[in-house]
Amino acid sequence: MELTNWLLVIVGIVGVLLTIAVPLIAYLNSVAHKTSNELSNHKTHVAENYATKNDVKDLGDRMERQMQAGFDNLKQLLTNKDKAV
């Protein structure tokens, strides 16, 4: 009789633990899945809306060439003005 009582206690404890553990595991799994989806959506947003490293480098190179051409024009204008005076 005493063994039966201990088995009932153990079955009860296991039942309580499963009652707590199964919903907790399901909740944590759904939170992990939701976070994974949000991260995926964020990566897509960044890829669609932000410049890549190469785009920024190309833009910097173009600006540098335009500035150099502008400085060359100014230098040429100042040189021609000095000759005219």
The model's pLDDT over 3-14, given as tens digits with 9 standing for 90+, comes to: 889 999 999 999
Residue 1 has pLDDT above 80, yes or no: no
pLDDT, position 81: 78
The pTM of the full predicted model, rounded to 2 decimals, is: 0.55
Work out the number of other CB atoms within 10 angstroms of the CB of residue 13: 10
State the sign of the Cα–Cα–Cα–Cα dihedral 9, 12, 16, 21. Answer: positive
Residue with tokens 């976070």: 35
Q: CB under 8 Å to 59, separation ≥6 — which residues? A: 51
